[in-house]
């Protein structure tokens, strides 16, 4: 469970990125966070795994106040929280499976890190993670030979290999074409449903948020202005979240293709 209570985040330059955030996210929820660029979506995600420190308030993950964690405790927290970025963060000259095996490096003894030795069980877990996202056949292919969508799936497999209970995804489909974006979102949905894994995804494409997430949180100028089911979201609510400025990549760009593409990727 993730629990925000009166959470604020203010940067040293005075910018107030988050204002009095209150929300409870239960284990197994699939939550899409939407809003304009600069609204505070990425900041909210990065506070959960302590990439950013909150200024005041309470932020708990599984009843642990994360602002009180230090050193090794923070590393342990991050082992339980997978983070996926728009940029993939892969070593493109290495094979797919070697990129996934990187998930085990933080917990390895120094001599195995130095020699690059992985156990049979670690290799098995890496292959299982690749199978779960549908690219097991690419295990020994160099990453730079894959498409953008396949690379994002490698990043997702690497996160799955560390066996987290929470996945945070910061604009994971922003650089993908519409069909590939649906395929990756479908992977997130399957993982959420099959593994009961909590997923929070920061996303600009409103149609994808509504098609795949069960819950939507709308952020405007650092404040939560909507928190409800995807079915509750209508044009009036979107107008309020986006202050009448729904961005390119929202409903307008992809809505006409959504039904056909979702059927294609099912």
Predicted local distance difference test score (pLDDT) of residue 256: 33
With H, G, I as helix, E, B as strand and everything else as coil, classify residue 39. coil
Q: What's the whole-number average pLDDT of the chain? A: 89
Long-range contact list for 135-138, CB < 8 A, 24+ apart?
Answer: 135/96, 138/96
* pLDDT (tens digit per residue) in 210-242: 999 999 999 999 999 999 999 999 999 999 999
Apex 33 CA angle, 31 and 35, nearest 5: 160
Predicted local distance difference test score (pLDDT) of residue 196: 93
> Domain boundaries in the chain?
1-80+202-255
Over 70: is that where the pLDDT of 58 sits? yes
With H, G, I as helix, E, B as strand and everything else as coil, classify residue 152. helix
Confidence of residue 259 (pLDDT cuts 50, 70, 90): very low
Put residue 169 in one of left, alpha, beta given phi > 0 → left and psi -120 to 50 → alpha: beta
Predicted local distance difference test score (pLDDT) of residue 214: 95
Q: Give the C-alpha separation, 230 to 91, whole Å.
A: 36
Predicted local distance difference test score (pLDDT) of residue 265: 34
**β-bridge mates for residue 142, sequence order:** 95
Predicted local distance difference test score (pLDDT) of residue 54: 95
Q: Give the C-alpha separation, 35 to 39, whole Å.
A: 6
Q: What is the mean pLDDT of residues 94-102?
A: 95
Q: Among candidates 30, 81, 83, which has minimal Cα distance to 189? A: 30
Predicted local distance difference test score (pLDDT) of residue 88: 82
Over 50: is that where the pLDDT of 26 sits? yes
Over 70: is that where the pLDDT of 68 sits? yes
Q: Give the C-alpha separation, 149 to 240, whole Å.
A: 32
Please state, as a whole number, how many other Cβ atoms lie within 10 Å of the Cβ of residue 200. 24
Residue bearing the bigger pLDDT, 247 or 121: 121
Pairing of strands 166-170, 30-34: unpaired
Q: Give the C-alpha separation, 261 to 266, whole Å.
A: 9
DSSP state of 146: S
Confidence of residue 75 (pLDDT cuts 50, 70, 90): confident
Predicted local distance difference test score (pLDDT) of residue 131: 95
Superfamily of domain 1-80+202-255: P-loop containing nucleotide triphosphate hydrolases (3.40.50.300)
Could you tell me where the DSSP H helices lie in 134-195?
A: 148-161, 178-195
Q: Among candidates 164, 174, 173, which has minimal Cα distance to 199? A: 164
Percent of the chain's residues with pLDDT above 70 = 92
């Amino acid at each position: 469970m993730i629990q925000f209570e009166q959470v604020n985040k203010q940067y040293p330059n005075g910018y107030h990125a988050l204002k009095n955030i209150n929300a409870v996210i239960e284990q197994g929820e699939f939550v899409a966070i939407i809003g304009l660029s600069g609204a505070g979506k990425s900041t909210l995600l990065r506070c959960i795994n302590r990439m950013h420190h909150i200024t005041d308030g309470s932020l708990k993950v599984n009843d642990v106040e994360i602002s009180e964690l230090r050193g090794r405790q923070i590393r342990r927290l991050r082992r339980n929280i997978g983070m996926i970025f728009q940029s993939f963060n892969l070593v493109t000259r290495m094979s797919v499976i070697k990129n996934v095996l990187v998930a085990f490096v933080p917990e390895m003894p120094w001599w195995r890190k130095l020699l690059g030795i992985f156990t049979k069980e670690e290799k098995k877990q890496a292959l299982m993670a690749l199978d779960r996202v549908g690219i097991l056949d690419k295990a020994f292919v160099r990453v730079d030979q894959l498409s953008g969508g396949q690379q994002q799936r490698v990043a997702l497999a690497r996160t799955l290999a560390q066996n987290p209970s929470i996945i945070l995804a910061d604009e994971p489909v922003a650089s993908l074409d519409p069909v590939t974006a649906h395929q990756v979102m479908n992977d997130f949905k399957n993982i959420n449903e099959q593994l009961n894994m909590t997923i929070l995804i920061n996303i600009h494409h409103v149609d994808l948020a509504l098609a795949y997430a069960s819950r939507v949180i709308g952020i405007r100028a650092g404040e939560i202005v909507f928190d409800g089911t995807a079915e509750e979201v209508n044009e009036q609510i979107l107008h309020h979240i986006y202050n009448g400025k729904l961005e390119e990549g929202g409903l307008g760009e992809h809505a006409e293709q959504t039904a056909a593409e979702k059927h294609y990727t099912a």
